[in-house]
A and B are shown apart, each in its own frame.
Chain A
């Protein structure tokens, strides 16, 4: 540590600016992901006012005691970008650095920047040299708006670095080996079990049930839940668990499932009334069955309308 700071002081004394960049370049090269670890002291050094290189600094809080979940979620994303930067040719690579200041090592900086949340990313453009920025003030990457995703961060970083670069993804050979084996295995199993598989594939019942279930799930708002990431249930104001979301264009997971089941049972009522009841042999049973299923249809339908009235207050109709 002391040696490093001595080194950096020594490098500051040297008038040549390239030496300064070379110093950070050697630190970056020695770190596995090309990220320079900073402290309060080195933070100011790397941001010296005569820097001819750009720096992207992430202010984070990784140690467990700070309980910063986004920091941990974002760390691999950030490192994926920095690691890709290390594959850029040397001449370009040494004009832009990535650094990381942990809260543990840089509380003074956090206070000075009056930062209340982590992670935060700033890009500090070069202040001298041929790439000198007109507006030298640091640029903040808006994590709240852009989210923790890799493509957004990559796009932003790419716009600040001297040369564009692609995300490096190490080639994973496993899927290329496993996929054909699995495929062959599945085909073999299907072929050997064709006595069972073929009737299932050709079965009207299987396809029919599958189609009807698909219709029911889609018409009960399944895609809405999936796209909007709806919670399954919601805690109400008085601590009770709500399963119906307020508002016409809003819903909860359980709510849409209940609606789907209601639709299904109602469709079943209609079908039983038109298929099973008429094929009933005895008049007494048929009469009982008719009233039973008809009653169920009416009760469930009125329940559905009640649910709809909860969602849409002005709806004027009810059955029961």
Chain B
């Protein structure tokens, strides 16, 4: 596509660019790190297949595509990029046998491979996301057929007929597609992808999408922060693609425009934009450096007037050549270049760009160091004397789970911690960061936001043994579950609007409060109880202040007694709190009655011998 030096530069860029480092850094716990690699290698093998026209490379691309489908929901980007590329090439009149072989082998094998993934199965032929690929597959068969007919049967009239036939079939199948979509045979675009086009959609219909901060649109500082100078060299690279405009350049251009749009709609998709920015910027910079480093000195024109006249004649010649054709090509037509005469301007340009590249390296180091290096499972804070304070509650709690619970115990938590629990605690979770199953996540939201009477049957039905919540009130860690709680309420409301209503979790004045003013629904919710259970005890009579919300937690209230669950573990800084779900009472009483009975008994016994309860022991064990 471009020179090897551009490739080297692009590799160097992608190696250090913060937009990619943010996901590939060690300790970042997401599948996107591998997904972007797969995206790149699928595109690479696709280009290779297109250039060589070999079914082998098409198969390799299909295999990587299959892997990508298994790894990341963003595979739909490939599913639509490749057909779009082929479609544009056909429109440009660049159809050839290489394209046919590459696309057919990729599509057939890639679709079969993607169907092996349990989540996907028949989605490629039953949803609108897969229709572009299927339609292009049909179109390319048609075009191939017509090409063969054209080669065998001469005659202009007949060729026109054949072309009209192609257009006709295209229109008819498009109409059929529309009809099938409306009649429900083909599912329309899923909300997740629809929200990329209609940007207000998610806010209204899909709280789970809107709840993730990474699904917000991108403001310009984020681009500069993640890509620095590459972001403005990137359009220059697109220019070079247009200037050369071979098949693979068309691909880069389509990729660039779409990725720029997607990254603008969602911060997370910056990840998809980063590779193409690196490639384009590398092309532009290597072109520039090549020009200024080229040791060949151009031959000087004798004198200015001569040059002028020469230019004028050239211009006239150009005009004469261009006028009848009425072409819009301009600078893109590829004028011959002379070269650089002066050593000082060479040194200046190369020097400046070396300086900019050095600055870029420093920028990347700074960004990676300041923003992307701390793994999300270990929090670091600075003390006043500058020393670092490591808060390791997550790992502490996950290890507790790993060592103190049965191997087949099921942990319920909000989905954010699903992968972490699965990976570090090795326990099954109810929901995790794979957010395809909205109903399941809403179930967890329902359990968290309803009272114990409603939540307990849900917990038992799903065989939950432990419930894990993140509580930042003691330390002032603002990313905790109480702050995410409203999203749980909203997502649950989306599925059960008659059981959960968001306004009920606010005070009558519309405040989100956890202190005395907290609404009844809030105070009775499982989440509230689990977070503030025994919290005021910690302050021994002093006002118990939640340091995130700066509100005083009442000493007595719903959080004093838990009936259906009991505290199992609380980490050092109280960030992670784990509760064990009680089994049904052996005497057949309701857990509430049993709890009341127990408390009455304890009150009597407390006078003589204060016996520590089970949860306290375990907590002390956890603190060692």
Using a CB–CB distance below 8 Å, which chain A residues touch chain B?
142, 144-145, 151, 159, 195-196, 199-200, 203-208, 211-212, 214-216, 218-224, 226-228, 248-251, 255-256, 259, 262-264, 266-267, 270-271, 273-283, 286-287, 290-291, 294, 297-298, 301, 304, 308, 311-312, 314-317, 319
Contacting residues, chain A, for B336 (C-beta < 8 A): 279
Cβ-defined contact, B224 with A304, below 8 A: yes
Known: A219-B264, A228-B217. A290 touches B301 (CB 8 A): no
Contacting residues, chain B, for A274 (C-beta < 8 A): 236, 284, 287-288, 291
Contacting residues, chain A, for B261 (C-beta < 8 A): 214, 218, 223
Cβ-defined contact, B238 with A219, below 8 A: no
CA distance A180 to B494 in the complex (A): 40
Among A218, A267, A275, contact of B233 (Cβ-Cβ < 8 Å): A267
**Which chain A residue lies CB-closest to B289?**
A274
Contacting residues, chain A, for B273 (C-beta < 8 A): 219
Cβ-defined contact, A221 with B223, below 8 A: yes
CA distance A319 to B229 in the complex (A): 13
Cβ-defined contact, B307 with A282, below 8 A: yes
A-B interface, 4 closest residue pairs, ranked by CB to CB distance from nearest:
A203-B328, A223-B264, A283-B341, A221-B220
Mask for B275-308, Cβ within 8 A of A = 1, else 0? Answer: 0000000001101100100000000110010010
Q: B335: CB under 8 A from chain A?
A: yes
Stretch at the interface among B362-370, B393-401, B524-532: B362-370
Among B245, B264, B330, B348, contact of A221 (Cβ-Cβ < 8 Å): B264
Contacting residues, chain B, for A290 (C-beta < 8 A): 340, 342, 345, 348-349
Using a CB–CB distance below 8 Å, which chain B residues touch chain A?
199-200, 204, 216-225, 229, 231-236, 238-239, 242, 245, 253, 256-257, 260-261, 263-265, 273, 284-285, 287-288, 291, 300-301, 304, 307, 310-311, 325-333, 335-342, 344-345, 348-349, 352, 356, 359, 362-363, 366, 370, 497, 502-503, 510
Q: B443 to nearest A CB, angstroms? A: 22
> Which residue, of B261, B337, B340, B341, has the highest number of chain A Cβ atoms within 10 A?
B341
Known: A227-B199, A282-B307. A145 touches B328 (CB 8 A): no
Cβ-defined contact, A215 with B238, below 8 A: yes
Contacting residues, chain B, for A266 (C-beta < 8 A): 232-233
**Which chain B residue lies CB-closest to A264?**
B235
Among A199, A250, A298, contact of B328 (Cβ-Cβ < 8 Å): A199
Provide a sorted-by-A list of 7 A–B residue pairs whose CB atoms are within 8 angstroms.
A204-B242, A205-B332, A215-B238, A219-B231, A221-B220, A263-B232, A317-B363
Among B199, B344, B362, contact of A287 (Cβ-Cβ < 8 Å): B344
Q: A257 to nearest B CB, angstroms? A: 10
Contacting residues, chain B, for A222 (C-beta < 8 A): 264
Among B204, B260, B335, B340, contact of A218 (Cβ-Cβ < 8 Å): B260
In the complex, besides A212-B238, A251-B219, A274-B291, 10 extra interface pairs with C-beta distance below 8 angstroms are: A204-B245, A219-B231, A226-B199, A227-B200, A248-B222, A267-B236, A279-B336, A280-B338, A281-B338, A290-B349
Among A262, A277, A297, contact of B352 (Cβ-Cβ < 8 Å): A297
Q: B444 to nearest A CB, angstroms? A: 24
Cβ-defined contact, A219 with B503, below 8 A: no
Cβ-defined contact, A319 with B359, below 8 A: yes
Cβ-defined contact, B307 with A208, below 8 A: no
Cβ-defined contact, B344 with A308, below 8 A: no
Contacting residues, chain A, for B236 (C-beta < 8 A): 267, 270-271, 274
CA distance A150 to B109 in the complex (A): 47
CA distance A54 to B287 in the complex (A): 75
Cβ-defined contact, A218 with B242, below 8 A: no
Cβ-defined contact, B233 with A270, below 8 A: yes
Q: A112 to nearest B CB, angstroms? A: 19
Among A221, A227, A270, A282, contact of B304 (Cβ-Cβ < 8 Å): A282
CA distance A211 to B332 in the complex (A): 13
Contacting residues, chain A, for B257 (C-beta < 8 A): 211, 214-215
**Which chain A residue lies CB-closest to B229?**
A301
CA distance A102 to B325 in the complex (A): 70
CA distance A300 to B352 in the complex (A): 14
Cβ-defined contact, A218 with B341, below 8 A: no
Cβ-defined contact, B362 with A311, below 8 A: no
**Which chain A residue lies CB-closest to B205?**
A151
